[in-house]
Amino acid sequence: MRRMTWLRAALLAALLGAGSLPGHADSPPAARILLQTSLTAGLAHHEARQVWESLAIGDDLTLQREPDNPHDANAVRVLWRDRMLGYLPRQDNTDVARLLDRGQTVQARIRTIARYRNHRRKLEIELFAPLTAGPTPPPTIR
C-alpha cells in the first residue's frame, strides 16, 4: 500500500479511536475519507462474469474479511448485492483488513468498469471511511 494511503488509514484510526462514536452508530456520516482506490483481483474466478452487465459506476459494495483464507491471512472479499466479485489485491488489503478486524466501517463503491480487448475485466473500486458527527454540545446559558 502506498505511504499516503497508510497515512490516511492511520489518521482514520486516530480520529475514530476503537470504533464509532458512542451513541451515534446510526447517525449518517458527516464526512468520509477516501482511503484508497484498488483494482479488484480474481474477477475471472468468482461471480463477476454473471453479474457484469448489471454493475454500475457508483454502486455500493460490501467488504468482508476472510481471515481463514489459506492463501492470504489478510484476505478481504468484495461483494455486490451478496454476490462475490473477487478480492482486494494482496498488496492493498493489509490496512483495510486491520480496520475491519477492529470493527471499523469501511465503505466501498465502484469507480471504474472496463473490459480490455482480450475480454479481461477491470473493476476499480474506492474505499472510504465514514466520519460521524460528534455529539452536539449543550447550549450555553448566559
pLDDT in tens, 100-122: 999 999 999 999 999 877 668 89
**Mean pLDDT, the chain, integer:** 83
Most confident of 6-10, 24-28, 108-112, 128-132: 108-112
Label residue 9 by pLDDT band (50, 70, 90).
low
Handedness of CA 41, 46, 52, 57 (dihedral sign): negative
What lies within 8 Å, CB to CB, of 2 at 6+ separation is 36
Contact by Cβ (8 Å): 2, 94 = no
DSSP H helices, the chain, are 3-16, 48-51, 94-101
Most confident of 1-10, 86-95, 116-125: 86-95
Residue with cell 480490455: 116
Query: What pLDDT is attached to residue 16?
Result: 53
Q: What pTM did the predictor assign?
A: 0.73
Query: What pLDDT is attached to residue 111?
Result: 97
CA 90 to chain centre: 14
Dihedral angle computed from the Cα positions of residues 91, 44, 40 and 123, in that order, rounded to the nearest 10 degrees: 150
What's the rounded mean pLDDT across residues 31-58?
94
* Cα-trace Rg, the chain: 17
How far apart CA 126 and CA 58 sit, in angstroms, is: 9
Q: Is 7 left (phi over 0), alpha (psi -120 to 50) or beta?
A: alpha
pLDDT at 7 over 70: no
Contact by Cβ (8 Å): 109, 35 = no
pLDDT at 20 over 80: no
